[in-house]
Chain A
Amino acid sequence: MKHYILGLSMTAAALTMSFSSCSDFLNEPILGQQDMANYFTTEDECAKQLIGCYQGLACDGWWQIYKMYNAADMCTDDEWMGNTTQDPGDYYHLAHYSGNTIQAGNSCQNFWQYRYKGILQCNIEIQKTPNVKFNDAALGKRYIAEAKFLRAFQYFDLVKNFGGVPLVEGLMMPNEVKGIERASVADTYAFIEKDLLEAIPDLPLRSQYSSADLGRVTKGAAQGMLAKVYLYEQKYKEAETQLQAVIGSKEYKLLDNFGDVWSMDHNNSEESLFEIQTNGTMSYSLGEHFSVVVGSRDDGGWSWGLPTSNLDQAFKDEGDSIREVWTILHHNQTYVPNDNTWTKDNPYIITPSKHKSARANMKLFIPIAKRPSPYDGPHINLNYRLLRYADVLLMYAEVENALGNDVEARGALNTVRKRVNLADVTSSGTALRDAIRKERRLELALEDNRLYDLRRWNDDNGKKAIENIMGSNGTFVHYNLVESTDPYETTNQNENSNKGYNFVNGRDELFPIPNSEIIMSDGSIKQNPGY
């Protein structure tokens, strides 16, 4: 009987305990990280999320983002893939226009994914910040403006590569994007314009930021970016307004020395409107790694993305020795500016058998003394320049020429030329237009501009510029297959000199949408024509 009571009382105890405590027992919060449900209640949390939005620009030196910037230049007459000792993998299908939709789309898939990841973080900042009370209301508005710029910038990165893309403006659940379609190119641009136009009034001028905030989005950056957006749409008048505002703000000027433009000693210089910020700490991946990717194999690099002799020749034809030496490194060069490691006895080596053109990218070259150890990692403290004042001036020149104001156009153009000791251009009309286009190539070479310029420029024969240089009759293809006497490029056929031969008009003016995305959408997202 004693045991009977014991048994019953234990059961009773068990049941009592269970009923009284199980609602607590079943509440298991996630430890060690914050829950979004309790976040976005303070100014500080909005400030932090905004930092997260900036982080999305390069995602801690994520190589796939820089890879796309690199591949875009490889798709032009400025660069080869370059590495001739390794299978080029992904690069090949883009740079050589193989027409393989799936593989070319795969090359872009990660970039696509990470741009949308960045956009979501901006969307959340834009959605959440207005609900938080700021002591200084202007600060809250500025945060939203910064996030809108970053969102616009990333959509711009998408539209210029892929054409119109699906527009996602907030945090959505999967069923809310069912059947989503690509916006038209015009609508995508309209979305970008709206973000930038809304951001501009709330953004401070560069000079209004404290030095601790250097690197944040400025009014000038937003105006400059918007001008570029307008220019890509050939909205010259609207572009002019924005460019004049940037120029008129007197916030920016060209650096005296062209060689300083891509020097890590001149990060965030007066010439700079917007840069991906870097830091060389070993503890985090906050630096860039692009310099290693494009570097000579003989100098610790991977040699993906090497300048062409065609570009080299363009500098020579122009007598542009200053920019040539600051843009292209040559095999056996005995003098490398800013780096006295290289001498007559110890010349810089870019072994021709390993490198298509035996040339390398000087803009991203890091002098030996400035390299972090280890060098091969995302720790290089060179900010990646996304928009600089020389670009603004050349856009202005292009806009004014298009609007018929050739005097204004020549003024801006010649300001840029003056820095590198080149004579003033005196032509006008179409000749001036061509001079400005050439100047853009020389000034902004290897800076992820050329491909999009070639895609947007209309030539006199009614074709896009890229259609005239690529394809079986393209000038660049003809140059390489017939005219070129470059001793390196003509002999090293491990990357075929016929790059661009397979270019197809009507298809290769855009990259393909990643195939997985088309399938996942059950076809509501459509592929670009020709693929």
Chain B
Amino acid sequence: MKRYFLIIFVSILTLGLHAQSVKVTGQVTAAADKEPIMGAYVKVAGTKTAAITDIDGNYTIDADKNATLEVSMVGFQKASISVAGRSAINVVMKDDVSDLNEVVVIGYGSVKKSDLTSSISAIKGDKLEKLSTGNVMNALQGQVNGVQITNAGSPGSSPRVIIRGVSTINGSDPLYVVDGMPVGNNINFLNQNDIESMQVLKDASAAAIYGTRGSNGVILITTKKGSKGATKFTASATVGLQTMQKPDIAGASEYEQVFKTRYTNDNQTAPYNGIANITNAQGTDWWKQTMRDVALTENYNFGFSGGTDKLLYSASIGYFRQNSQYKVGDWQKLTARFSMQYNFNKIVQAGVDFTPKYENWHDTPDLIGAVMTMDPTTPVMRDQSQWTSNPYSNYARSNNNQTLNPVASMSRLDKHSDEYGLLATPWISINPIKGLTFRTQFGMNARFRLSDSYTPDFHIDNLEQAAVSTAQRRMENWVDWNWTNTLTYMNTFNKKHNLNLMAGYTMERFQNYYLDGSRDKIPSNVEEMRYVSAGTDNMQVSGTNNYNSLVSYLGRVMYNYDEKYYLTGSIRVDGSSKFTTGNKYATFPAVSAAWRVSGENFMKNQKIFDDLKLRLGWGKVGNQNIDNSAYTSSIITNRYVFGNQIAIGSSVGSIGNSSVKWETVEDYNIGFDMSFLQNRLRVTADWFTKKSHDMLMKKENLLVLGYPMWNGQMWSNIGSMKATGWELGFNWDDKIGEVKYGVGLNLSSIKNKAVNLNGDYLYTGSHNGDFIIRNEEGKAISQFYGYVVDGIFQNKTEVTSYTNEHGTAMQPNAQPGDFRYKDLNHDGVIDEKDKTYIGNPFPDLMLGVNLNASYHRWDIQAQFYGTFGNDIYNLNRERYFGQNGSNVMAGTLDKAWHGEGTTNEYPRLSVNDANQNYTRPSSFFVENGSYFRCKLLQIGYTIPESVLHLCSVRLSLSAQNLFTITKYSGMDPETASMGGVTQAGIDWSGYPNPRTILFGVNVNF
């Protein structure tokens, strides 16, 4: 049988004959079936001389006697052959099945990617290095199907990661496991350049081996290790410039008019404080006063690796810095990694990985809200004649509202932290007999944080002042350890029965220690005095230890017959200190199976599928992500006065829930892995449904209970929830002439539903004394819940004619210009019962598109990410009301209703707001939050080695968040979609993702 390939015609380039050159001819064949390969690309290394094989796989090329031929073809491994004076060279190309033979880490073990039975996505480190970011999860966005990553722009902040939708209400962060050590839910400390690969365990059949902490999925990270061979060095540098778009807020003259109109519309006189010295209509540009035009980000890395038969080593060092877009605030981290493995003999191997780090950050302010509401008629500073010796007192107080001067707030902000950390994972592995491995690893994750904050005394106004300065220092240590012991047995019987058994035992303890002290009345605000010791009054100190621990027993059986039929079963028993006796232990089983259909005889003659595998999985995972003290009621100290003397008393400081127990998530998964067209097209499809039981949540309760906890929040098992969805991934790799390209497309869709809430509604998103979000049994979770605005009353007649059957006005407080609310239950009154679901913060579809192409020395990458069908509750629309004298969006005066026919969208300006246009949650605030964003566009050029001897240098120019296609009117649809899963999609004016232009250099030698 002959192999047919797409014919690609490329002219043969020759540079003329050299004296030493020979004409080389030969045939290129495939190793597997010995058939000739047509269209293979034969090139003389280091030159532009190249040829293409003909229909019989033959080629002819002129090459130097000492040259090397490089032969490449899609679907095959690249081959390099020395000419060594020969004139006939036949080349046998091996199938490039590296992607399928790739070993994938699965938690307490690893398997070939082709042998996976669960839904696990793997991604190589080199795909993550393209984006310059402080947290590798930012780079993972759009790369992995079914993983919704929402970036929180500000320096040092962690993105929100939701794997396969919301199945639990109690946080969505997955568990991160670095080189076998669970490190919690934040991996800011990790340098993305140190990552060899990441595996996302998406379904419970994969994650169940992590039991109690697997309910949100597990992300396994393997760091780079040394490999046998000469020492390789790499270095890279990236410098970026961030910019941010200023929101369109009103200037001073419009502000004044809006402020007054709110009162005059209600027949009131406006308490407006005119200011004489406003010289321009714009007034103060608070955005410009607080924001940098351009903020810098930098990233430098250097590493080397290598090894011998005995010793494998690698080391790296990296520095990352990101400035905030505000004039203050930054984050920098210095990370290093040392990995060593020593092979004593064939039986014993040992190694250790050290990851020390240093982080330092100056807090980024949260002032976008203040910038947008601050009175623009107010100058930054008060008149110089009123200045005092305390510079913090010389700022101006807002003339007309209660917003604190944002420039003054920023000048006072002095909070900074240093954190030192060490992750160490020494291990020893023993293979006493073939197939049997005992491995023990004692991981330690220690962090030490020193945080200082200083608030100066100042007096801008009686309502904007701090009479005393305060210095505070907090020292906090975390020392978590994890002892993992596994016994693995792998063997193949009768060549076809492949068996892999694993049994394990782990112990973990999470230890936290802190000491916090503060003093007031520091004699001077100078830099040298900003320490606790300088304080003269009100000494306060607190400190304690917090512990929780976990003990687990694990077991797993993996069996496959002839790589056709697969069966995996695992079980984990977890015991946790976070629950009361009787509720401490829980069991998490999982079963999965796979069938390689393409391995069957009846598939031998078909030409469609190169690979076809069907996977089925079921499993149970748990969630114990609650406070250590969830079940205890604590007593705290407080004070009162008798006989003018202080009496020390106590009160109940928190009420525990003694019946709180494990949350479990159970899920089913069906998936197909397919590849077509000589493996050029690979398709993965999954369908899943997962249901959580006894969901844990720190739930708000009725205030009449009198709980000392804020808003009566108590850990409770509140019911069950279900997420159902599908994922579809396409990857296409091919080349057109000398242009190699790849297209990746990830599509996923998830529906979340509240199944059982013990008959309760669950309200979240507290705002203005109401709740924006309601969860109801049988409905999609965390939907916006409010009144439906049916336009605006245009005249008196419309108001008076909006009556019920008895002729009673439905909105007795309404006036022309107010919202008309729909009487949804037709009971003739507008009240709480007329609220309905008005928006869903979770998308119908998530889409990631990854494109790459290369031509000679040029390469280009593009990554796009988008969500579709999600809504955002845009609180920025309050900026059309000027409530409490706050500033408004530009154009409000014209946009707000000011007479019949002027608008049917924005209500009239009103101070009384008797119709509650502004305070009732309503459809007015809901906007389509769909967006499609170009996350990365990068162009790279590799300088020829002939120019720079011995090393390869790649230069790149990239743009992150280059453009966004959206109808959303707020600053950033992505950060607006943030928020915990129960408060998702409410735009509280957070820090938007900046646009960043970066220049990078990579050197390998």
Chain A interface (Cβ < 8 Å from any Cβ of B): 1, 3-4, 6-8, 10-11, 14-15, 18, 22, 25-28, 30-37, 39, 45, 47-56, 60, 84-87, 89, 92, 98-103, 105-106, 109, 112-113, 116-121, 123-124, 165-166, 168, 171-175, 177-178, 180, 210-216, 267, 277-279, 281-284, 286, 292, 297, 300-302, 373-377, 381, 493-496, 498, 502, 514-523, 525
Complex contact A55–B705 (CB within 8 A): no
By a CB distance below 8 angstroms, the chain B residues around A37 are 632-633
By a CB distance below 8 angstroms, the chain B residues around A39 are 635, 650
By a CB distance below 8 angstroms, the chain B residues around A48 are 648-650
Partner of A521, one of B553, B702, B771: B702
By a CB distance below 8 angstroms, the chain B residues around A18 are 505, 507, 551, 553
- Expressed in whole angstroms, the Cα–Cα distance for A54 and B646 within the complex equals 12
Partner of A519, one of B651, B763, B884: B763
- Knowing A31-B544, A171-B655, the reply to whether A517 touches B634 (Cβ < 8 A) is no
By a CB distance below 8 angstroms, the chain B residues around A113 are 703, 711
By a CB distance below 8 angstroms, the chain B residues around A106 are 768-769
Q: List 28 A-B contacts (CB under 8 A).
A: A6-B430, A14-B485, A18-B553, A26-B577, A28-B548, A31-B544, A35-B634, A36-B634, A52-B652, A87-B400, A87-B884, A100-B919, A103-B913, A106-B768, A112-B703, A117-B708, A118-B706, A168-B704, A168-B706, A171-B655, A173-B657, A178-B760, A213-B643, A283-B538, A377-B467, A377-B468, A493-B271, A494-B269
Identify the interface centre among B465, B467, B485, B538: most chain A CB within 10 Å of its CB.
B467
- Expressed in whole angstroms, the Cα–Cα distance for A213 and B644 within the complex equals 9
By a CB distance below 8 angstroms, the chain A residues around B761 are 522
Please, which residue of chain A has its CB at the minimum distance from the CB of B546? A31
3 A-B pairs with the lowest CB-CB distances in the bound complex, closest first:
A51-B649, A374-B467, A120-B706
Complex contact A180–B702 (CB within 8 A): yes
- Knowing A48-B650, A180-B704, A301-B462, the reply to whether A514 touches B400 (Cβ < 8 A) is no
- Chain B residues 676 to 709 lying within 8 A of chain A, measured CB to CB, are 699-708
Please, which residue of chain A has its CB at the minimum distance from the CB of B542? A32
By a CB distance below 8 angstroms, the chain A residues around B430 are 3-4, 6-7
Complex contact B635–A34 (CB within 8 A): yes
Which stretch (B305-313, B432-440, B852-860) binds chain A? Answer: B432-440
By a CB distance below 8 angstroms, the chain A residues around B885 are 87
By a CB distance below 8 angstroms, the chain B residues around A87 are 271, 400-402, 884-885
Give the total number of A-B pairs whose CB atoms are below 8 A apart: 298
- Expressed in whole angstroms, the Cα–Cα distance for A45 and B770 within the complex equals 39
- Knowing A26-B551, A51-B648, A516-B771, the reply to whether A213 touches B465 (Cβ < 8 A) is no
Complex contact A33–B268 (CB within 8 A): no
Complex contact B642–A212 (CB within 8 A): yes
Complex contact A514–B769 (CB within 8 A): yes
Complex contact B649–A124 (CB within 8 A): no
Complex contact B402–A105 (CB within 8 A): no
Please, which residue of chain B has its CB at the minimum distance from the CB of A277? B641
Please, which residue of chain A has its CB at the minimum distance from the CB of B913? A100
Closest-CB distance, B429 to chain A (whole angstroms): 9
By a CB distance below 8 angstroms, the chain A residues around B462 are 292, 297, 300-302, 376
Partner of A109, one of B272, B440, B642, B769: B769
- Chain B residues 737 to 762 lying within 8 A of chain A, measured CB to CB, are 758, 760-761
- Expressed in whole angstroms, the Cα–Cα distance for A35 and B884 within the complex equals 44
Complex contact A32–B642 (CB within 8 A): no
By a CB distance below 8 angstroms, the chain B residues around A286 are 639-641, 646
By a CB distance below 8 angstroms, the chain A residues around B804 are none
By a CB distance below 8 angstroms, the chain B residues around A112 are 703
- Expressed in whole angstroms, the Cα–Cα distance for A517 and B701 within the complex equals 9
- Knowing A117-B708, A522-B760, the reply to whether A30 touches B652 (Cβ < 8 A) is no
Complex contact A86–B402 (CB within 8 A): yes
- Expressed in whole angstroms, the Cα–Cα distance for A123 and B509 within the complex equals 38
By a CB distance below 8 angstroms, the chain B residues around A518 are 832
Asked if B26 is at the interface (CB within 8 A of a chain A CB), the reply is no
Please, which residue of chain B has its CB at the minimum distance from the CB of A383? B641
Partner of B347, one of A3, A25, A45: A3
Asked if B912 is at the interface (CB within 8 A of a chain A CB), the reply is yes
- Chain B residues 494 to 551 lying within 8 A of chain A, measured CB to CB, are 505, 507, 509, 520, 537-540, 543-551
Asked if B628 is at the interface (CB within 8 A of a chain A CB), the reply is yes
- Expressed in whole angstroms, the Cα–Cα distance for A482 and B449 within the complex equals 66
Asked if B778 is at the interface (CB within 8 A of a chain A CB), the reply is no
Q: Residue-by-residue, is B461-487 near A (CB-CB < 8 Å gives 1, otherwise 0)?
A: 011010110000000000000010101
Complex contact B714–A124 (CB within 8 A): no
By a CB distance below 8 angstroms, the chain B residues around A493 are 269, 271
Please, which residue of chain A has its CB at the minimum distance from the CB of B634? A33
- Expressed in whole angstroms, the Cα–Cα distance for A281 and B539 within the complex equals 12
Closest-CB distance, A275 to chain B (whole angstroms): 10
- Expressed in whole angstroms, the Cα–Cα distance for A18 and B656 within the complex equals 29
Complex contact B644–A279 (CB within 8 A): yes
By a CB distance below 8 angstroms, the chain B residues around A85 are 271, 273
Partner of B629, one of A30, A45, A173, A374: A30
Please, which residue of chain A has its CB at the minimum distance from the CB of B547? A28
Closest-CB distance, A420 to chain B (whole angstroms): 28
Complex contact B702–A102 (CB within 8 A): no
- Chain B residues 69 to 87 lying within 8 A of chain A, measured CB to CB, are none
- Expressed in whole angstroms, the Cα–Cα distance for A213 and B641 within the complex equals 9
Complex contact B632–A11 (CB within 8 A): no
Complex contact A31–B463 (CB within 8 A): no
By a CB distance below 8 angstroms, the chain B residues around A105 are 769
Closest-CB distance, A358 to chain B (whole angstroms): 15
By a CB distance below 8 angstroms, the chain B residues around A50 are 649
- Knowing A214-B643, A282-B520, the reply to whether A117 touches B632 (Cβ < 8 A) is no
Closest-CB distance, B883 to chain A (whole angstroms): 9
- Knowing A99-B914, A174-B705, the reply to whether A211 touches B638 (Cβ < 8 A) is no
By a CB distance below 8 angstroms, the chain A residues around B468 are 374, 377
Complex contact B465–A22 (CB within 8 A): no
Asked if B636 is at the interface (CB within 8 A of a chain A CB), the reply is yes
- Expressed in whole angstroms, the Cα–Cα distance for A89 and B883 within the complex equals 9
Closest-CB distance, A279 to chain B (whole angstroms): 4
Taking A121-B706, A215-B642 as given, write out 20 further A-B residue pairs in contact, using a Cβ cutoff of 8 Å, ordered by the A residue number: A7-B438, A22-B551, A22-B575, A26-B549, A28-B548, A31-B545, A37-B632, A86-B401, A100-B914, A102-B769, A103-B919, A168-B704, A168-B705, A177-B704, A215-B643, A277-B642, A282-B520, A375-B467, A516-B771, A520-B763
Complex contact B766–A516 (CB within 8 A): yes
- Expressed in whole angstroms, the Cα–Cα distance for A518 and B701 within the complex equals 12
Please, which residue of chain A has its CB at the minimum distance from the CB of B647? A51
Asked if B863 is at the interface (CB within 8 A of a chain A CB), the reply is no
- Expressed in whole angstroms, the Cα–Cα distance for A180 and B400 within the complex equals 43
Identify the interface centre among B269, B465, B643, B911: most chain A CB within 10 Å of its CB.
B643
Complex contact A282–B575 (CB within 8 A): no
By a CB distance below 8 angstroms, the chain A residues around B11 are none
Asked if B920 is at the interface (CB within 8 A of a chain A CB), the reply is yes
Q: Residue-by-residue, is B654-687 near A (CB-CB < 8 Å gives 1, otherwise 0)?
A: 0111000000000000000000000000000000
Complex contact B646–A35 (CB within 8 A): no
Complex contact A174–B348 (CB within 8 A): no
- Chain B residues 293 to 347 lying within 8 A of chain A, measured CB to CB, are 347
- Expressed in whole angstroms, the Cα–Cα distance for A357 and B537 within the complex equals 38
Complex contact B912–A100 (CB within 8 A): yes
Closest-CB distance, A381 to chain B (whole angstroms): 8
Please, which residue of chain A has its CB at the minimum distance from the CB of B520? A282
- Knowing A11-B485, A84-B271, A121-B652, the reply to whether A98 touches B912 (Cβ < 8 A) is yes
Asked if B916 is at the interface (CB within 8 A of a chain A CB), the reply is yes
Asked if B576 is at the interface (CB within 8 A of a chain A CB), the reply is yes
By a CB distance below 8 angstroms, the chain A residues around B347 are 3
Closest-CB distance, A87 to chain B (whole angstroms): 4
Asked if B653 is at the interface (CB within 8 A of a chain A CB), the reply is yes
Closest-CB distance, A366 to chain B (whole angstroms): 15
Complex contact A496–B768 (CB within 8 A): no
- Chain B residues 806 to 862 lying within 8 A of chain A, measured CB to CB, are 813, 832
- Expressed in whole angstroms, the Cα–Cα distance for A47 and B647 within the complex equals 10
Asked if B775 is at the interface (CB within 8 A of a chain A CB), the reply is no
